[in-house]
Amino acid sequence: MVIKPDPNQPGSTHPVRILAYIETKKEEEGKFFFFDIACLGFKKEINLVSLQHQTMLTVSVKWQKKVFESIEIDTSQPPFVFKAQLYDLSGVPPERQKIMVKGGLLKDDADWSTLGLKNGQKLMMMGTADEIVKAPEKGPVFMEDLPEEQQAANLGYSAGLVNLGNTCYMNSTMQCLISVPELKSELSNYQSARTKDVDQTSHMLTVATRELFSELDKSVKAVAPMPFWMVLQKKYPQFAQLHNGNHMQQDAEECWTQMLYTLSQSLKLPSPSEDPDAVKALFGLNLLNRLHCQESSEESSETESVFSLKCHISHEVNHLHEGLKHGLKGELEKTSPSLGRTAVYVKESLIDSLPRYLTVQFVRFFWKRESNQKAKILRKVDYPLELDIYDLCSEDLRKKLEAPRQKLRDIEGQKLGLQASAKSSSKGDDVKMTDAEGSSNQSGESSTGDQQEGASPHMTGIYDLVSVLTHKGRSADSGHYVAWVKQESGKWVQYDDANTSLQRGEDIIKLSGGGDWHMAYIVMYKARLISM
């Protein structure tokens, strides 16, 4: 069966009604059908499923003093889709909706065929609308619709995200990820037609991420990420956990990790990208692990792929670099082939390949049995604006880094000489420096050196800080998460849910902990590349 939009009656692509023309091999003349798709707010390119044997019902729903007439139910879709439609109409989140049907309350995974619904039937719904997540009366204001003076005042960084009820963990994660232009480019090239290699929920979450990034780039007012949030909960049900009827606070690191994993599955498919695994190329690194048994001379090695490094915090750790060294060493128990039993192994890891964007998690939370929650280590751990991880790399990788690092030192030496010359010269003879002579390019590649034709960028092992995700509070399951992101202009912006504010660079490195103020939980660095 082939589905084509009818050019004469295009219908509406937002939010759920689409008029489609269906051609079959057995019929010479096509037929018109109306059908509903999950009300997830996607504005375009919705992946259509087979419409064969689809049954549509039309019902009305009474909620408080309102009656919503002529609501179409697609019985081939789970009731969760119907609840999403009612959310769009009433503002009552699906988890708060109590809809009376035959046998009790309507469940998200109920079988429509057992409920005995009939066309024209009136249903009763109870539930309280959440004012925070209620759809705005006016649509988002886009940059191009503003007067020129207001456009100029708002240029430079993306909009904030509305807190939908303990969703600061999600908002701060997405604000950090949207700051990666290469990721945005890969998402913009992602096709909406799902292939067999990607499961449905991963595909939906990838499309929702693409649409959210696009809306954030265009809007000058805070965006309510309800469509994205609903799909995230569908993909990862742990983010839908409730306590006393309200959504629970979640761990931002878990959200970050799950997002990168999902996108790595979706974006590694054939696309305009030169790299078949775009997310791994951007964020992934390989660790060379060497294992030594303490009870025998047995040794082994293995390669491990990860999306982040861990900064372990102890009373000896005062700086990020020290915590990284601790994180690359440890002990584990495994079966020893020579001993024929479980033994303790010492594990030492070295970085064997570098990512374009290096993510580091400060391991600040641990399980506290007494309080039955993730308690927080408040110890201050300083981190730099410029991070050099050369000494954490394997011997083979160090050899590859030597030539680019030498060229980088030569260029920076020339830069210092030019700066000294500029200070000693008169105003009329000021020396003009090019971007290539600066420490980094503000947009695109964080690179140094002249862009020669045919030259390719090389890693140096040096990284520049581009985003910080902080946590304020005493537990991972409570408190508040905020994102601090460096813009292409070089300025820093704080994203506190819907609120955005400019920050100074010196304020960013003060988020190192030691009290109840915001402290770094996840930091992201961008590789300083050099063309050779």
What is the three-class DSSP state of 151?
helix
Place of tokens 């000294």: 420
Q: Cα dihedral angle (467, 473, 478, 482), rounded to 10 degrees?
A: -20
438 vs 443: CA distance, rounded Å: 13
Q: How far is CA 502 from CA 108, 159, 177, 492, 508, in A?
A: 43, 13, 19, 6, 11
What is the three-class DSSP state of 259?
helix
- Residues that are catalytic: 168, 480
The full length of the chain comes to 532
Closest to 249 (Cα-Cα) out of 262, 261, 238, 234: 238
What is the three-class DSSP state of 494?
strand
193 vs 203: CA distance, rounded Å: 9
Dihedral sign, CA of 522, 435, 157, 272?
negative
Residue 75 in contact with residue 56, Cβ under 8 Å? Answer: yes
Residue 76 in contact with residue 54, Cβ under 8 Å? Answer: yes
389 vs 355: CA distance, rounded Å: 12
381 vs 360: CA distance, rounded Å: 13
